[in-house]
Structure 1
Amino acid sequence: MPLDLSKIKAGAKSALIEPRDIFASLGHRPWPRLRVEQDQVLKGWFERRHERDLVIKQNTGGGKTVVGLLVAQSSLSEGVGPAAYVVPDTYLVDQVVDEANALGIPVTTDPRGADFISGLAILVCTFEKVVNGRSIFGLAGDSNARRIGTVVVDDAHAALAAARKQFTVNVPAEHPAYKKALSIFGDELMRQSYKNGTAILSGDRATPLRIPFWAWSKKHSEVTAEIEASAGNSALKGIFFSWPLLADYLGLAVATISDRLLQLRTPCPPIQEIPAFHLATRRIYLTATLADDGVLVTDLAADPESVRRPITPERATDLGDRLIMAPGALNPNLTSDRIRRLAWEFAMGDRTGDGERDAEPVNVVVLVPSDRASELWSPYAAETLHVGDMKAVVDRMAAGEHLGIVVLVNKYDGVDLPHDACRLLVVDGVPTPLDPGEQREAGALIGSDTYRIRKVQRLEQGMGRGIRDAEDHCAVLLLGSDLALSLVDREDLRLFSPATRAQIDLSKEVAAQIAGEGLDSVREVLSLFLGRDEDWRVASSRATAGVEYDPDGHVSAVSEARRKAWDLAAAGDPAAAATTLRNALDQVDSAERGWRLEEVAAYQHEVSPEDAQKTIKAAKQANTSVLMPALPLAPRPVRGHQQQAVACVDYLSEHFDNGTQLRLGVQSMLDDLAFSPEDDRVDAAEAAVKRLGQLLGFDATRPEKEQGKGPDGCWGLTPHRSAVIELKTGTSRDDSDIIKSETDQLSGAVSWNSAANPDTTECVPVLLARSARLHKLASAPVGSRVVTPDDLATLKADVQAFADEIACDRGWERSSAVSAALASHCLTADQVIQQHSRKVEAAKTAK
């Protein structure tokens, strides 16, 4: 009789717990064996599997999903279940389920299903499904709270953003609690920043402000009572899912307010409120690029000692082949518009740009941070996609279909674009912080190591989308001066992963051969790469051969101390919290030290308000973006230098190592100095005015930011002449005439200057505005000058030309060369305002 093999029991299989043995036993595995890198990290995990928190690092395309699924299945087989595989968004849920089905590993998307609860299948869900204030797994103190034995967190860097979101209460401006906050804390907001406080109270666009912790601690209950009254309203998603997680920690919350939101967020997420995650026996974090592993400690309370010992393959050669270029760093004439056109021509198979197809068309994927940025690609894009609608199109590309240019909006991680799905990847900017707290933090930490790490990490995530295994290849183009700067700034370069850094170094050698040349040279290099030129392939293999992963997980003393401090404060010991965090701040840069001292002071206030004010004063001296102390600070006099060129040389020599870095750095600064109504651009423009003044050799400050009152900017042009500067770059009125409140503000700036700078004999009032014409009710101070968009364009052109000139032959190090360049481009103290602004115009008269 014929044999029925289906009756043979696979009892031995169920006993397998070694992940590599499990893979070998799978009947439907799509490949006969694991990759070497997968084999190595699975062996490393299995040997250390009894540690609660383990980080597995592999290069993009290294097969992390398979590793994560096998780790989860191993844990189930060992009885450490149930097991959940969590991802940042719903797109990735479908991707992981497809991968599991291909392997033959049982999974489910139903957290209530018997298969998950009994450990017969791995739950695949979003991180938010587990971590939210209405979690079906229950909260701390809930007698019915459910446990998870093993949690695998895929794309851990993206999951961290989801965690912060879930532990944040966002109260819209229409909510009664928002209005209550304005009525209670309005005076405090205006004392922190008269301009922004006034704007927030009026409902106008403004830079977010923190409600001072000393005021919040005393009166927050009047506001939070209003929030609690509506916390059960599921339509208010920014409150409904987060309120239960923060309700017990409101006195310690950071309250940040903008013209649109009141935001409450604790210094570290109280992750202990989610026992399913917090008490899991095993927590495994899968990541490609975490330059700062400390966020796993601060945000998810991972064990710092385990995180400092990541599990990696023995070599970092599991990365696909990439050419990484920033055309703007090669030649300033290679504008983003020209590169967009080039990308479209390559997508159509026209690599010479003559209008004729001369090569195989390729799929080009473009990563942009926002819908606004995607509009610049609309003439060329075949598809513009968001997280919710991209799967079907990405599947078509992965299956080999040619679409042309596909734009992905704000999706820099978790998208697999293997082989012909993407041969040319364009990164056109990286996302900027959008919520009030993130905006404020980004402004405070700009220039710090923390800021650099976040930017580089986001960039590296994006650059990895087009390579999915070691045999894959993809050319990468970076648009914009800020991204180009990351390829030449040694402080940024050190933050890339070792394998990516090796690819950047090789690409820079090629780029050096075409520096200063035109678009045809870029076409030639791209064509050689995409044509798989043998010389390139040999050079590329040599560049990455022997490259190893960084053996250390980077958990700073500050990251570890912040988590310890929060846990102490949450447990009722704010004094120990303050001491713990303060003791960890000695070795950090000034910007971060000041920012973290604000956190220390908030803890101190709970036990000694007087000591807290001393600390916040020290914080303000280290970082001007932190809270203004309760007692007003004396204004710092602004006094111009006797020799502008010498001061200019000192600034440039301190900030730039080479001519390319100087030129790109200046261009990046000028990009920030723009007329734009977007929330994150206003503060950036004000910061750029200060940096521009310093770069030109002036004594430049931001009085309103640094002291809570005064103009947006002040330039000490000479020892006895200064300029007070007010920016209206964020206005979006239909009528662009200068209104009375704006001229009143400029008059107030002149008065401030008289008091703050008594040695100044001449003060020039300057307004950056869309029009130089006054409204009929407005009256400008005598001698006022207006920088319109046209004037600003001229100024930016002259500054860029100045930078280009002194970038040659290290001219920025010689005061004679700098002095001549300042004069030739009308940037001297007596010319810079006169030549790049205009007189105010009288109001139009009624006919």
Structure 2
Amino acid sequence: MTLKAALMAIRWDEINPNKGAKLTRPREIYASLQGRKWPRLRPEQNEVLEAWYDRRRESDLVLKQNTGGGKTLTGLLIAQSSLHEGIGPAVFLVPDSFLIQQVVDEANDAKIPVTRDPDAEQFRSSQAILVTTFHKLVNGRSAFGVRGVKKVIPLGVVIVDDAHAALAATNGLFAATVPASCKAFEQLLKLFSAELREQSPKAFAEMEAGDHGAPIRVPTKAVAARTNEIMNIVRPHANDDKIKSLYFSWPFVADSLKFATVTFTSRVVEIKTPCPEVALIPAFRQAKRRVYLTATLEDEGVLVTELDADPGAVRKPITPNQASDLGDRIVLAPLSINPRLADSAILKLARNFADGDRDGDGKTDATPVNVVVLVPGDYAASRWSEIANATLHVADMGPVIERMKKGEHIGLVVLVNKYDGVDLPGDACRLLIIDGIPTPLTPNEQRASAALTGSMYFRAREVQRIEQGMGRGIRDVSDYCAVLILTNEAALTLRDPQLRQFYSPATRAQVELSLQIAEQIDGEGADVIADLLDTFLERKTQWVSKSLEATADVTYDSAGTVTPLAEGRRKAFNLAMAGDADGAVQVLRKAIDTITDPLLKGWHLEELATYEHFVDPTAAQKTQAAARKLNSGVLKPSVAPSRKKVVGPAAQGKAAAEYLGDRYQDARTMELAVASLFDNIAWGVEHGADLAEEQIRLLGLHLGFGSIRPEKEDRDGGPDNLWALTPQQHAVIELKTDVSRSKPVIIKSEAAQLVHSMTWFGKQYPDAGEPTPVLLHPSELLDSAAHVPGGTRVMTKSHLQDLRSDVEAFVKELASSASWADPKAVATGLERNQLTAAQIVPGHSKRIR
């Protein structure tokens, strides 16, 4: 080859003049990347990267940027800078495999070398960043090594993208789950049957029958006494890679079984430690740098409890100087604007915008847009089925999402249980609809949800999930997306100032601006809401100028939220694992003393009792009894506290007025809250019974009755709900709203539960009159083998709908006259709407056949 030919063969575009210089400042690295898609970094990216560079030697750092603020590129540049500095290898972790390609594409656009192969020489030699899932690194069979089991591959820097979603994934990774199909399930059920039955006779009976039911935790004493038996039962199945929920997680709990929370449902047994033992993955725990990228993680304390991050560093998150690095959004809750809007009107509005028919006259008058609907599950997705162009789940959404991101108009797309980790920039999504909040799935999450419903901690988590969902539609400061919040419960998070505070500052500013505009169309129909959405989507000056003004001076919270509880829980677990149970008790007790929320305090006193059992078993039972007094959702102690009997009102109108007056300051909040009670009673949905029972309890209180949940509070065979209608009249209520059989007649076991509950009532309330047995069930027909108590009444779905209509009419009357705190007006309204003690059961149920 001649010299000229050799020179012609050189690929000049691959030559990098700075390759040997090893620039370390991220902005300089970016400026040196030839062929990059974006000519320069955004100001907010520069601010964050400069702040990181000054603090880069800290082992744990949190970087907070608004959704669409360019977090991914920020994280890639941090990894590249670390490699240039000799801190490698570098891993960029995403919550699920769907997101790997998104990060690779962004890296390719920026000309940052990456690989998806953990065995690639480029990664091992610190020449490229590995992009993989959080699960690939953090699991009991980690390809990067497990302490004492598998050779460790050292890492220099770990970037955790979408840290909130990665943490959600962690819950499953660190909990070993034995499915009912595994032989070990039956053996474990037999091992702990006596303790489970003692905790809840009813839930245990449902579990044995294979029915959906409330999860039951095994008492600490029983777990501690039988750790060897648990080990012998589970270990033979732990190496079966077909049982992935056990195969990847068992190593995390096997050496700490005595501290484990063991929770049963009819489907699985979950074995989970109080905090994850991340030290088992040295590649993660010993990495020189761990950087957590997040947009909506308002409570950074979970990084401490779940991933053992340094509390001091986490309390000082790195943020841009301003929080205005956010795409434009209008956030509306149609049911807050008009509680009487029909579902059909909202569905029609969504379909019209997807079709470009914004005035609803059947003709195209605007550019059709992609409308994306986020739903928590298939039950919620079903109501969109007739108008959706596509209903997608995590496993199959990839191809359609890619088409949307390329600008293709699909129409109305429903995403099932995917509230984070999906980027829908630009025309991929112009109208985003959030139809419900994701429900807890694991046994421990179900228990926590039931125990903490009503606490501000629980509501804060709901707001975080909603905000994660909102973020799907804006991926750039110049992007824009309208957001509709559909359910009454979610609408309350916008309207209630106490709940609104849990949104991040920039989102809160957008919500508050949207609320001001919504107030001006209060009570209007879907056509007026459509006009407002059109004003936003057409980028009319009236909206854009006000929106820019609203967010111009918004800043991020300067301090990360790491509560004494979060820090104390992690310290206590680490001490316990090191053999210092006494130290764990002291640390955690001090942290719990800072809690003011009684439900949250009771929940964590249960955790304290777990450690205390190994120091002083008698004191542990006293702690458990104290926990139980504060929160009926925790374990029963060996000696149960005295039971409080419910007493019916002497004057129902007065009792209801006192409850409503204390609870609600404005009419619209009251209307939304009451509507959400009925929204949360879902028929035929697994795991929905506990939430439904809580709504019936709250409904009773709203109507002025004494109302409790004996089975949850005492777990001694009592009914799901007990309404004290008057001092002498009671309704014993059993719920079977989760029945999903194709022929849902009332079967023998369901009828027997009502019989047992009536027997329970006779023992507990011997001086009361004969109660009315009530069954909430999808059928009013009785199986030939089933026998119910005399006088049993059934409330079916249609009866419950009638009750909803009457309750909402009652509330509407009070709202319109602002008289919900007036005993006389409330009493009159109860009578007029068939809601008095004498009317409510006969008027909204049927004698069983």
TM (norm. structure 2) is 0.96
> Which segment drifts farther, 733-742 or 134-143?
733-742
1:808 matched to 2:797? The reply is no
Choose which of 155, 158, 183 in structure 2 pairs with 1:176.
183
The alignment partner of 1:14 has SS state of coil
User: Are the counterparts in 2 of residues 13 and 22 from structure 1 also a CA contact under 8 Å?
Assistant: no
Unaligned runs of 5+ in 2: none
1:565 matched to 2:569? The reply is no
User: Are the counterparts in 1 of residues 16 and 34 from structure 2 also a CA contact under 8 Å?
Assistant: no
User: Are the counterparts in 1 of residues 163 and 294 from structure 2 also a CA contact under 8 Å?
Assistant: yes
Which residue number in structure 2 is paired with residue 546 of structure 1? 553
> What is the CA-CA distance between 1:6 and the residue it aligns to?
7.0
Q: How does 1:354-503 map to 2 (within 5 A)?
A: 354-503=361-510
Change (3 A) 1:590 1:52: same
Cα distance in structure 1, aligned partners of 2:33 and 2:425? 24
Choose which of 742, 752, 773 in structure 1 pairs with 2:750.
742
1:206 matched to 2:213? The reply is yes
Change (3 A) 1:229 1:409: same
Cα distance in structure 2, aligned partners of 1:762 and 1:736? 28
Instruction: Look up the equivalent residue of 2:806 and give its one-letter code.
Output: D
Change (3 A) 1:356 1:412: same
Which residue number in structure 2 is paired with residue 729 of structure 1? 737
Which residue number in structure 2 is paired with residue 129 of structure 1? 136
Cα distance in structure 2, aligned partners of 1:6 and 1:626? 65
Instruction: Look up the equivalent residue of 1:590 and give its one-letter code.
Output: P
Cα distance in structure 2, aligned partners of 1:481 and 1:9? 57
User: Are the counterparts in 1 of residues 629 and 641 from structure 2 also a CA contact under 8 Å?
Assistant: no
Cα distance in structure 2, aligned partners of 1:13 and 1:231? 48
Which residue number in structure 2 is paired with residue 640 of structure 1? 648
User: Are the counterparts in 2 of residues 429 and 479 from structure 1 also a CA contact under 8 Å?
Assistant: yes
Change (3 A) 1:95 1:7: closer
Change (3 A) 1:261 1:8: closer
Choose which of 209, 221, 224 in structure 1 pairs with 2:228.
221
> What is the CA-CA distance between 1:535 and the residue it aligns to?
0.9
1:751 matched to 2:764? The reply is no
Which residue number in structure 2 is paired with residue 826 of structure 1? 834
> Which segment drifts farther, 89-98 or 645-654?
645-654
Q: How does 1:69-108 map to 2 (within 5 A)?
A: 69-108=76-115
User: Are the counterparts in 2 of residues 173 and 259 from structure 1 also a CA contact under 8 Å?
Assistant: yes
> Which segment drifts farther, 681-690 or 373-382?
373-382
Cα distance in structure 2, aligned partners of 1:422 and 1:11? 40
> What is the CA-CA distance between 1:223 and the residue it aligns to?
3.0
Instruction: Look up the equivalent residue of 1:581 and give its one-letter code.
Output: L
Choose which of 197, 200, 204 in structure 2 pairs with 1:197.
204
Cα distance in structure 2, aligned partners of 1:582 and 1:819? 47
The alignment partner of 1:487 has SS state of helix
Which residue number in structure 1 is paired with residue 791 of structure 2? 783
> What is the CA-CA distance between 1:47 and the residue it aligns to?
0.7
User: Are the counterparts in 2 of residues 91 and 391 from structure 1 also a CA contact under 8 Å?
Assistant: yes
Cα distance in structure 2, aligned partners of 1:725 and 1:389? 42
Which residue number in structure 1 is paired with residue 258 of structure 2? 251
> Which segment drifts farther, 98-107 or 402-411?
402-411
Cα distance in structure 2, aligned partners of 1:166 and 1:737? 39
User: Are the counterparts in 2 of residues 784 and 839 from structure 1 also a CA contact under 8 Å?
Assistant: yes
Which residue number in structure 1 is paired with residue 358 of structure 2? 351
1:556 matched to 2:586? The reply is no
Choose which of 514, 526, 535 in structure 1 pairs with 2:533.
526
Cα distance in structure 1, aligned partners of 2:91 and 2:763? 63
User: Are the counterparts in 2 of residues 380 and 405 from structure 1 also a CA contact under 8 Å?
Assistant: yes
The CA deviation string for residues 588-619 of structure 1, in whole angstroms up to 9 with x for no partner, is: 30111111011011111122211111111111
> What is the CA-CA distance between 1:735 and the residue it aligns to?
4.3
Cα distance in structure 2, aligned partners of 1:647 and 1:304? 47
> What is the CA-CA distance between 1:470 and the residue it aligns to?
1.5
1:301 matched to 2:344? The reply is no
User: Are the counterparts in 2 of residues 207 and 679 from structure 1 also a CA contact under 8 Å?
Assistant: no
Cα distance in structure 2, aligned partners of 1:834 and 1:809? 28
Runs of 4+ in 1 over 6 A off after TM superposition: 1-9
Cα distance in structure 2, aligned partners of 1:654 and 1:7? 71
Change (3 A) 1:735 1:429: closer
Choose which of 610, 613, 618 in structure 1 pairs with 2:626.
618
Which residue number in structure 1 is paired with residue 153 of structure 2? 146
Instruction: Look up the equivalent residue of 2:732 and give its one-letter code.
Output: V
Structural RMSD (CA): 1.8
> What is the CA-CA distance between 1:398 and the residue it aligns to?
2.0
Cα distance in structure 2, aligned partners of 1:504 and 1:745? 47
Change (3 A) 1:272 1:512: same
Cα distance in structure 1, aligned partners of 2:442 and 2:14? 59
- Identity over aligned pairs, percent: 49
> What is the CA-CA distance between 1:173 and the residue it aligns to?
0.8
1:58 matched to 2:70? The reply is no
Instruction: Look up the equivalent residue of 1:600 and give its one-letter code.
Output: L
The alignment partner of 1:152 has SS state of strand
The alignment partner of 2:775 has SS state of strand
Which residue number in structure 2 is paired with residue 157 of structure 1? 164
Instruction: Look up the equivalent residue of 1:186 and give its one-letter code.
Output: S
Cα distance in structure 2, aligned partners of 1:487 and 1:9? 51
Change (3 A) 1:412 1:776: closer
User: Are the counterparts in 1 of residues 276 and 306 from structure 2 also a CA contact under 8 Å?
Assistant: yes
Change (3 A) 1:74 1:450: same
The alignment partner of 1:689 has SS state of helix
> What is the CA-CA distance between 1:734 and the residue it aligns to?
4.4
Choose which of 280, 285, 289 in structure 1 pairs with 2:292.
285
Which residue number in structure 1 is paired with residue 249 of structure 2? 242
Change (3 A) 1:771 1:399: closer
User: Are the counterparts in 2 of residues 638 and 757 from structure 1 also a CA contact under 8 Å?
Assistant: no
The CA deviation string for residues 440-469 of structure 1, in whole angstroms up to 9 with x for no partner, is: 111111111221121111110110111111
> What is the CA-CA distance between 1:772 and the residue it aligns to?
3.2
Unaligned runs of 5+ in 1: 842-847
Choose which of 594, 598, 603 in structure 2 pairs with 1:590.
598
Which residue number in structure 2 is paired with residue 700 of structure 1? 707
> What is the CA-CA distance between 1:227 and the residue it aligns to?
1.2
Instruction: Look up the equivalent residue of 1:688 and give its one-letter code.
Output: Q
The alignment partner of 1:206 has SS state of coil
Which residue number in structure 2 is paired with residue 845 of structure 1? none
User: Are the counterparts in 1 of residues 625 and 640 from structure 2 also a CA contact under 8 Å?
Assistant: no
Instruction: Look up the equivalent residue of 1:572 and give its one-letter code.
Output: G
> What is the CA-CA distance between 1:776 and the residue it aligns to?
3.4
Q: In the comparison of the two structures, how many residue pairs are matched?
A: 840
Instruction: Look up the equivalent residue of 1:669 and give its one-letter code.
Output: L
